[in-house]
Copies of this chain bind each other. A is one copy, B any other.
Amino acid sequence: MKQFTSVKDVENVTELVKEARALKNNPYADKTLGENKTLGVIFLNPSLRTRLSTQKAAMNLGMNVMVMNIDKEGWALETRDGVVMNGTTVEHIREAARVFGQYCDILAIRSFPGLKNREEDYNEEIFNKFIQFSGVPVVSLESATLHPLQSFADLITIEEHKKVQKPRVVLTWAPHVKPLPQSVPNAFAEWMCQAQKEGLIEFIITHPEGYELAEQFTEGATIIHNQDEALKGADFIYPKSWSSYHDYGKILHNGKGWMLNLERLKITNQAKVLHCLPVRRDLELGSDILDSTESLVVEEAGNRVWAAQTVLKRILENI
């Protein structure tokens, strides 16, 4: 593996999940692989699970880790070319990325979308510039449009907890007070479509009209606008809020009726519930679910370690 920014960087997700589950059973088997190798973990936006799970994964592999919260510890980066830098930005991403590449063998980067300009966000400018200029393998810790380590951990969790050979997995839109990025649902859709192609699951998406995700990520998914219908017979449910892709960055629906609770789960096949966290209780998802054995959100967060460790291991083997 040479970089990890999307499911497209993976040949076969079935094999990848198998490797992750093997690592989970034997976390320190590759502790010499990362010796004298440095992972740079760069946050342009805040993080909790992602930072800790990535740091732990790297330490399990014997790597050194350097964390840099650029938004707080560093300074404003200029990302546009051809501007005279006489304003508030202090350093250009061209220099910053190249310099990170001098100190680190692998870079892991988080950079959220602005949600103002769809083209800019979906071009993944900042991310692609880090890839272009740093000269070292780059791992996405959530970009403007995708959060692949999360989706990988989601798939590990589904594989661990499935009771039928080909479970029905439902991604459902959920309410929120803020317009959120599409990165988590985009990546989840992309990974589940691939998992469906490999015969691991059956994949359904449900959301109010107007919340259609970009088609490049949902090819092969069944899209149903009636949530009840979509939930029928579900084995796993992934509730997640996102803002509109088509009316970019907007909230189009007041959310009424779309939040799940234990009562609403009765229609499913004793479905287990996933969420990437953080989750706003009783707004995005019923607290009765989160406090029940139906919820897998904590195990799922735990699996972020094995997702990150598998990716770092594959990249280290290629350096």
Contact = CB atoms under 8 A, between A and B. Distances in A.
B94 A290 contact: yes
A53 interface: yes
A117 interface: no
A52 B107 CA distance: 13
Interface in A11-54: 27-28, 36, 38, 40, 46-49, 51-53
Given A52-B103, A86-B177, A36 B46 contact: no
Contact of A73 (B49, B72, B297, B298): B72
Dominant secondary structure at the A interface: mixed
B38 A86 contact: no
A68 B48 contact: yes
**Quick one: which of A55, A103, A290, A301 has the most chain B CB within 10 A?**
A103
B46 A55 contact: no
A102 B280 contact: no
Interface in A152-193: 177
A91 B38 contact: no
A78 interface: yes
A319 interface: no
Nearest to A35: B28
User: How many monomers of this protein are in the complex?
Assistant: 3
A56 interface: yes
Interface size class of A (residues with CB under 8 A): 35 or more
Interface string A73-85: 1110010011111
Contacts of A227: none
A91 B279 CA distance: 6
Contacts of A72: 72-73
Interface of A: 27-28, 36, 38, 40, 46-49, 51-53, 55-56, 59-60, 64, 66, 68-70, 72-75, 78, 81-86, 90-92, 94-96, 98-100, 102-104, 177, 277-283, 287, 290-291, 297-299, 301-302, 305
20 contacts: A28-B36, A46-B73, A46-B74, A46-B75, A47-B73, A48-B75, A51-B68, A52-B68, A52-B104, A69-B73, A72-B73, A85-B282, A85-B283, A86-B283, A90-B280, A91-B278, A92-B290, A94-B290, A95-B298, A99-B277
